[in-house]
Amino acid sequence: MSEPILVTGATGGVGRTICRSLHHRYQVLALGRDDSRLRELRDACPGIVTYCTDLQRADDLVTLIKRIGKDYPYIPYVVNNAGLNVKAEITSLDIESLEHSVRINAIAPFLIMKALIPAMQAHDFGRIVNITSGAPLNCFAGYAAYSASKAMLNALTVTAANENAEFDIKINLMSPGPVRSAMAPAAPMEPEVCLPTLDYLLGLDRGGPSGRFFWLGHELPLFPDLESVDWLQGTAGTAFPRIHE
């Protein structure tokens, strides 16, 4: 029997593409909020198991993950793909939209990791790919909610990777690139361009990277080089000029 892989946002352009690509090699457990599109996915990819849920409802998600766990007590592969992009400048961004973005883009992946990592630790194996964006690195005007929520996802991912360094559990970030989806209908690339990078991350061996950021076959730095910074002593090297004495 194929090993299970949980994929969120399964009815969107990237999520649907991921599910269709993986269902020949894994037992895909597909989460989405559009039941009709989930039915279409099942028809196109026999064997996929679908779950209709709204990821912004934390209690419902926790309940669903527990229910899935009764049939699949150990899910070694996860792709947290679901995302929300609210466009608004800081002065017009309402708190509800910001909170909604954080719930979908960061809290839902957190709850899924929190629920599934213990079994990965028990089996000493797991591969988690959290779908992020270049947005928190670029911070384009008008996308504060998206950039901030993806930055939170980035921090949660790197922290989880550090916490599981003693296990064969690889937790990485992947930006699919400028691909067409409901969030970006005018983007220049088809979602399929992200699949080779995803396959690489799911297939990592024990010595592979964890807590890193990947984009279209490239590894990109998440952080500046802070080797000369001693946070506890309050000192920094010459690469960081002083602004006052």
Split at pLDDT 50, 70, 90, the class of 1 is low
Residue 93: inside a domain: yes
- Residues 6 or more apart whose Cβ sits within 8 Å of residue 96: none
What values do phi and psi take at 54, rounded to 5?
Answer: -105, 110
Range in 19-23, 73-77, 105-109, 190-194 the model is least confident about: 190-194
pLDDT, averaged across the chain: 95
| CA pair distance 216, 207, nearest whole angstrom | 21
Find the domain containing 229 and state its range: 4-236
CATH code (residue 201): 3.40.50.720
- Residues 6 or more apart whose Cβ sits within 8 Å of residue 12: 32, 81, 82, 83, 181, 182, 183
Q: Is the pLDDT of residue 116 over 70?
A: yes
Split at pLDDT 50, 70, 90, the class of 161 is very high
Residue 241: inside a domain: no
Quick: pLDDT tens for 206-239.
Answer: 999 999 999 999 999 999 999 999 999 999 999 9
Residue 120: inside a domain: yes
The total of structural domains in the chain comes to 1
Count of H helices and E strands in the chain? 8, 8
Residue 243: inside a domain: no
| CA pair distance 168, 154, nearest whole angstrom | 20
* pTM (two decimals): 0.95
Residue 42: inside a domain: yes
Q: Is the pLDDT of residue 181 over 90?
A: no
| CA pair distance 182, 14, nearest whole angstrom | 9
Q: Is the pLDDT of residue 184 over 90?
A: no
Quick: pLDDT tens for 2-15.
Answer: 999 999 999 989 99
Residue 130: inside a domain: yes
Q: Give the gyration radius of the chain's Cα atoms.
A: 19
Quick: pLDDT tens for 69-110.
Answer: 999 999 999 999 999 999 999 999 999 999 999 999 999 999
Q: Is the pLDDT of residue 33 over 90?
A: yes
Q: What is the pLDDT of residue 204?
A: 98
Residue 64: inside a domain: yes
